[in-house]
Structure 1
Amino acid sequence: MNNKHLSELKQQYVAKGAPHMIQAFADTAENAEIWDVEGNRYIDFAGGIGVLNLGHRHPKVVEAIKAQLDKVMHTSAAVMPYAPYVHLCKRLCDAVPITGDTRAVLVNSGAEAVENAVKIARAATGRSAVIAFDGSFHGRTMMTLALTGKVLPYKHDFGPMPGDVFRAPYPNPTHGVSDEQSLAAIEKLFKTDVPAHRVAAIIIEPVQGEGGFYQASPAFMQSLRALCDEHGIVLIADEVQSGFARTGKLFAIEHTDVEPDLITTAKSLADGMPLAAVVGKADMMDASGPGSLGGTYGGNPLSCAAAIAVMDAIEEEDILGRSQRMGEALAERFHTWQARFSHVDHSRNVGAMAAFELVDEHGAPCAVKTKALTQKAAENGLILLSCGFYSNTIRVLVPLTATDDVLHEGLDIIERCLEEL
């Protein structure tokens, strides 16, 4: 079996709407490295799109999954519950930056978590409208597509979106949107499109993921919290990509001293196993009736065991400290490139959630150079992702457990590729 043969099979049998970026097929992986079916080595700066903060096959996670595999694989928590589900919910409730009684529900994916957060907010408030932000990404289901603030490639072909979703500009001074302008736009929505008393929730990524790794300032988040309190609106922090140590905190919103009402999390929660959660204030989480939340596979025993091991590893291996130190190393390298290359600009990081942009000779966003860089990187054995409202941002989601040697080897590859642009 080789890459060419597998690619031919994929072309024949896999839907064209599910392409792959790397023209190779993974066979084995360890920490921040992957080997394809032909034995070629890749350094992984994508981490399964932010799923592998603890790296491929972290020993504690693998051990926990194997131990659970010898006990029970599935009953459905809605039919016959099991200890890992309950223990994980307790760990999550203890970990989130929300005071008072909290509850959690486990589902399969980030999109499911966001869908359920919206359901919970609507049940808790008796309202229906939701406000999201430009450049946001909340998932690929119909409700989460309606919330997502970018058409291509996510929404382009799928017709009318669910209603009662409204959008404000994300506070992004780099692209000309101040905190005050974003807040004013929400106030304008209340006057022109939806009265505040009909808004169930405002959902925001404290650090945007697909939108370009832009951080909402603490001042903005505090003002947004005050606005929600004034109007009885639920504040949902979407931490699907920014959570679980990527920013140097367990949750990115901890950088802002703001308490959300609900938090959605997924991706690195279970380090490669399918799992997501909504965690929030108990009165809101309990607002809907029995059977209204959950699903057949939500909180699968193997995924729960993996997530508990992830939380143990984060505490025992100083992963938050590693994230902060990795972020410093990335920021230092990015600043060097920004000074050296005219086409590198707007480098930024929150812990190890780090990015920079590629621009043209006029300083405008350049998606062409960005695509060329990711392709050159792949040709040189580095898996690298782009993102951003203008598709010109290079983001780094290397496992936080990557060795210094592997991290700098990957950065060296980027530097050589930048020299060729």
Structure 2
Amino acid sequence: MKFEDYQPYLSPALAKATNLIVESGQGCYLTDIHGDRYLDFVQGIAVNALGHCHPKIVEAIKDQSGKLITASFNVVNYPTTLKLAKRLSEVTPGQLNSVFFSNGGAEAVDGALKLAKAYTKRPAIIAFQGSFHGRTFGALSVTGSNAKYRKYYEPLVGSVYFTAYPSKDICPKGFNEEQRTRFCLNELDHLFQYLIAPDQVAAIIMEPVQGEGGYVVPTKAFVQGIRDRCDQYGILLIMDEIQSGYGRTGKMFACEHFDVVPDILTVGKAIAGGLPMSAVVSKKEIMAEWHPGMHGTTFGGHPICAAAALAVLDEFQQSHLLDHVNKTGTYLKDQLVRLQKKYCCISDVRGLGLMLAIEFSHPDGTPAGDILEKVREGCLNNNLLTLSCGVHNNGMRFATPLNVKKEEIDQGVAIIDRVLSQICAK
């Protein structure tokens, strides 16, 4: 079996990172149809929180699929989905305890934008440069990580305004962390003064840690400054935690690092251990303005996905997973810093918990996406799957399982080290 034989039947719109045909997976590893085993540091793009085919998730899926596959959650209720809504409300911050289930991250973002407009009765949305929220029309309208995503699709949803996020790529060159924070908050204030009155803004949507944009971690002062402005003007704060949430940063949700509770939270990727599920979570008084029929879904709240999601939450509790993320995240970051000291082409190591990235640059400081691609190709040839990030595609992000073992980290870092020794000067 060759991918090329089937490629004519697949739309080229879905970019393929590899031509691998994978037959099975277990934990941190994938096995292709030829029996070759790959260390997977992508995990479905941060989807498999517990690795491939975790036995408790597999058991939950088998058990529920033998009872009921679906009858549509807008027609009947399922025990698994009802239990999940309650369990999810118990781990989300603040008073975020009302849940609308959907199927994927972009769909959840679309729902969050609609909810914010329904509640505030205001037309405008503010998003950030460098952001990635998805590719549906609503989510794409608030995505600013790369112009290629928006090409040929204009006009998108109207009344969307972009402001600066405190990353080195976006802010003036040479600014330190404090200066970037101040610059970006001033940019938002200027947006209110010159382009859109704050009383016309329904929501500000942000990733507490930018994902596709480069795993950029802002300062607490910046995130709290956004929260303060939302409170001042009656604007809802939407936190997109599709990638950063569910333990990835060492806390259940990344916003907890900044002591900020959003008004609306989007959750996805890791929620169901590999099955397609997402959610919009908000306060009851906000959800109360989302009247029956104003939003809907056929497959959202799927009973099998909910069963898997319950198994994920069980494992979080029983294995003290957040403690493990913080411990192994520190270890992985130390290993990446060691690589940075060894190879001049690595210009930055950043992130929280197991949401980490390294950035590649040329000696003159320009982004080295070309070097990254050589490194990723070398890693693939050495049976390691990796993933890029950043507007210049010069960042390598690490999306290991949250229960990754030290020896698996060592194996992956050793492969990267070996590849770098052949590409970058020491």
Q: One fold, TM greater than 0.5?
A: yes
The alignment's TM-score, normalised by the length of structure 2, stands at: 0.95
1:62 correspondence with 2:64: no
Is the contact made by 1:105 and 1:294 (CA closer than 8 Å) also made in structure 2? no
Q: Tell me the equivalent position of 1:162.
A: 157
Q: Which residue of 1 aligns with 2:224?
A: 222
Partners of 1:130 and 1:368 in 2: how far apart? 35
The answer (yes or no) to whether the contact 1:105–1:293 under 8 Å persists in 2 is no
CA deviation after TM superposition for structure 1 residue 6, in Å? 2.6
Write out aligned runs for 1:123-142 (5 A): 123-142=118-137
Counterpart amino acid of residue 6 in structure 2: L
Q: 1:146 aligns with which of 120, 133, 141?
A: 141
Q: Contact 1:343/1:363 (CA < 8 Å) preserved in 2?
A: no
Corresponding residue of 2:44: 48
**Secondary structure at the counterpart of residue 35 of structure 1:** strand
More displaced 10-residue stretch of structure 1: 214-223 or 135-144: 214-223
Deviations 1:259-282 (A, max 9, x none): 111110100001110000011111
TM-superposed CA distance for 1:152, in Å, is 4.3
- Where in structure 1 are there 5+ consecutive unaligned residues? none
Q: Which residue of 2 aligns with 1:92?
A: 88
- Between the aligned partners of 1:411 and 1:211, the Cα distance in structure 2 is 23
Indicate if the aligned counterparts of 1:172 and 1:179 stay in contact, CA closer than 8 A: no
Cα drift, residue 220 of structure 1: 1.1
Match of 2:408 in 1: 406
Question: What letter matches 2:77 in structure 1?
Answer: P
For 1:123 and 1:292, the matched residues in 2 are separated by 9
In the other structure, the counterpart of 2:5 is 8
Question: Separation in 1 of the partners of 2:412 and 2:151?
Answer: 34
Amino acid at match of 2:3: L
2:310 to 308, 311, 334: 308
Residue 294 of structure 1 and its aligned partner are, at CA, apart by: 2.9
**Contact map agreement 2:164 2:171 (CA 8 A) in 1:** no
Alignment of 1:2-401 (within 5 A): 5-10=2-7, 12-99=8-95, 102-173=97-168, 176=171, 178-401=180-403
Contact 1:88 1:308 (C-alpha < 8 Å) held by counterparts: yes
Contact 2:98 2:284 in 1 (8 A): yes
- For residues 137 and 214 of structure 1, the distance between their equivalents in structure 2, rounded to whole angstroms, comes to 12
Per-residue deviation, 1:188: 1.0
Q: Which runs of 4+ in 1 moved over 4 A?
A: none
Q: Aligned partners of 1:154, 1:398: CA distance in 2, in Å? A: 26
Contact 1:98 1:280 in 2 (8 A): no
Partner amino acid, structure 1, of 2:4: S
Give the letter for the 2:103 counterpart.
N
Question: What secondary structure does 1:9 align onto?
Answer: helix
Once the two structures are TM-superposed, the CA of residue 371 in structure 1 deviates from its matched residue by 1.2
Are the aligned partners of 1:130 and 1:203 in contact in 2 as well (CA < 8 Å)? yes
Whether contact under 8 Å (1:98, 1:261) holds in the other structure is no
- Separation in 1, partners of 2:232, 2:406: 47
- TM-superposed CA distance for 1:174, in Å, is 6.7
CA–CA separation in structure 1 for the residues paired with 2:296 and 2:407 = 43
Gaps of 5+ in 2: 173-179
Partners of 2:105 and 2:267 within 8 A in 1? yes
Q: SS of 2:149's equivalent?
A: coil
Distance in 1 between residues matched to 2:392 and 2:15, nearest whole Å = 20
Equivalent pair of 1:265/1:278 in contact (CA under 8 Å):
yes
Residue deviations 1:303-336 (CA, integer Å, cap 9, x gap): 0111111111111111111111121111111111
Q: 1:15 aligns to what SS in structure 2?
A: coil
TM-score with structure 1 setting the length: 0.96
Do 2:145 and 2:390's aligned partners in 1 also have CA atoms closer than 8 Å? no
Give the CA deviation at 1:43: 0.3
What are the Cα deviations for residues 167-225 of structure 1, in whole angstroms up to 9, with x where unaligned? 01111257536111111111111122111011000001001110000112111111111
Q: Residues 334-382 of structure 1, C-alpha deviation per residue, up to 9 Å, x if partnerless? A: 1111111110111012011111100001122111111111111111100
